[in-house]
């Protein structure tokens, strides 16, 4: 009886190990068998991802995703659900990877793994050019401030942002309360801010790189104060797939070593912000 129990236990452990291995490599196996990698990102987040004049997705994140797919020898398919769907995770195999400018927050680490931080840029305050009230973060007190829904910027406004892997980074919240106004896309947020000081919005919190083209091309906007905090942006994958995690790390190490990331960064940003 003891020996039979041991045999059954051993067989069970083998099955468990086999199932674990199958789960561990599920995404990589799916990508290799379908010869396709599905990357999820935002449709309107220039210069990282946006629709160009030919109504095709373009930008830094798009080109990085293409480079990753090329290294893997597979086709690239891009999907653009709303950011709150992307950031919620639990994709159930619908998407393989998010090369989509995601900040690795503590909350997101519960559902995602972050194999690689591939660029960094500070978070900043943008206001209407006619605004003389907001000069830094403390002046956001009681104001209505826009950000992408479910973003790290919204977490900042709610005073609960913890960046995964950088828990020792001190983030200052020099305000007691800010009225956070979430938007599906920054385009709409900037349209509202462009209507005038305090008409619909008082300010927007966003990425400096995202803000720069708008500031250069549209004189209705300006920066207010110094950057708020340094924001790493990472590749996100479904949690618990070590083989896919290792493959993503390997590919990005190659893209870093051969200068691809730096080249794409210079192309879209005008500077090397790759990590």
DSSP string covering 55-108, please? S-EESHHHHHHHHHHHHHT-EEEEE---HHHHHH---TTS-SBEEEEE--BTTG
Residue 270 DSSP symbol: S
Rounded to whole angstroms, how far apart are CA atoms 141 and 156? Answer: 13
Residue 22: the pLDDT is 37
- Which residues touch 178 (CB under 8 Å, ≥6 apart)? 140, 141, 142, 143, 145, 157
Residue 16: the pLDDT is 37
Percent of residues in the chain assigned helix, strand, coil, to nearest 5: 40, 25, 35
Rounded to whole angstroms, how far apart are CA atoms 126 and 143? Answer: 13
pTM for the whole structure: 0.83
Rounded to whole angstroms, how far apart are CA atoms 189 and 211? Answer: 12
Residue 272 DSSP symbol: -
Widest pairwise Cα distance in the chain? 84
Note the CATH architecture for domain 122-164+171-231.
3-Layer(aba) Sandwich (3.40)
Phi, psi of 180 (to 5 degrees): -75, 130
Rounded to whole angstroms, how far apart are CA atoms 56 and 39? Answer: 15
What residue ranges of the chain are covered by domains with CATH 3.40.190.10? Answer: 26-120+233-269, 122-164+171-231
Burial 143-179 (b: 16+ CB within 10 A, else e): bebbbbbbbbbbbbbeeebebbebeeeebebebeebe
- Give 9: exposed, middle or buried? Use CB within 10 Å, 0-12, 13-18, 19+: exposed
**49 with 43: CB under 8 angstroms?**
yes
Give the tokens for residue 46.
Answer: 């220039």
User: Could you tell me which CATH class the domain 26-120+233-269 is placed in?
Assistant: alpha beta
Per DSSP, the three-state class of 148 is strand
**E strand intervals along 117-256:** 117-128, 144-148, 179-183, 203-207, 221-223, 229-238
Q: What is the pLDDT along the chain (275 residues), one digit of tens a residue?
A: 333 333 433 444 443 333 333 344 799 999 999 999 999 999 999 999 999 999 999 999 999 999 999 999 999 999 999 999 999 999 999 999 999 999 999 999 999 999 999 999 999 999 999 999 999 999 999 999 999 999 999 999 999 999 988 877 889 999 999 999 999 999 999 999 999 999 999 999 999 999 999 999 999 999 999 999 989 999 999 999 999 999 999 999 999 999 999 999 999 999 899 96
> What is the distance of C-alpha 32 from the center of its chain?
24
């Amino acid at each position: 009886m003891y020996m039979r129990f041991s045999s059954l236990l051993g067989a069970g452990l083998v099955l468990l190990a086999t199932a674990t291995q199958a789960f561990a490599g599920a995404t990589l196996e799916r990508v290799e068998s379908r010869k396709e990698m599905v990357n999820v990102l935002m449709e309107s987040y220039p210069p990282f991802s946006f629709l160009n004049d030919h109504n095709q997705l373009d930008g830094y994140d798009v080109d990085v995703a293409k480079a990753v797919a090329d290294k893997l020898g597979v086709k690239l398919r891009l999907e653009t659900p709303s950011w709150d769907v992307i950031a919620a995770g639990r994709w159930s195999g619908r998407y393989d990877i998010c090369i989509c400018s995601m900040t690795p927050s503590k909350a997101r680490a519960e559902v995602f793994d972050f194999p690689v931080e591939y660029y960094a840029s500070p978070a900043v305050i943008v206001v209407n050019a006619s605004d003389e009230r907001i000069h830094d973060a403390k002046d956001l007190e009681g104001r209505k401030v826009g950000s992408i829904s479910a973003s790290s910027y919204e977490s900042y406004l709610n005073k609960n942002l913890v960046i995964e892997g950088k828990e020792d980074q001190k983030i200052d919240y020099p305000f007691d309360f800010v009225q956070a106004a979430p938007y599906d896309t920054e385009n709409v947020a900037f349209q509202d801010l462009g209507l005038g000081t305090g008409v619909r919005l008082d300010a927007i919190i966003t990425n400096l790189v995202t803000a720069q083209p708008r500031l250069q091309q549209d004189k209705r906007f300006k920066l207010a104060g110094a950057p708020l905090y340094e924001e790493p942006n990472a590749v996100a994958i479904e949690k618990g797939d070590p083989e896919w995690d290792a493959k993503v790390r390997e590919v990005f190490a190659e893209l870093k070593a051969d200068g691809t990331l730096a080249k794409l960064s210079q192309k879209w940003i005008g500077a090397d912000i790759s990590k």
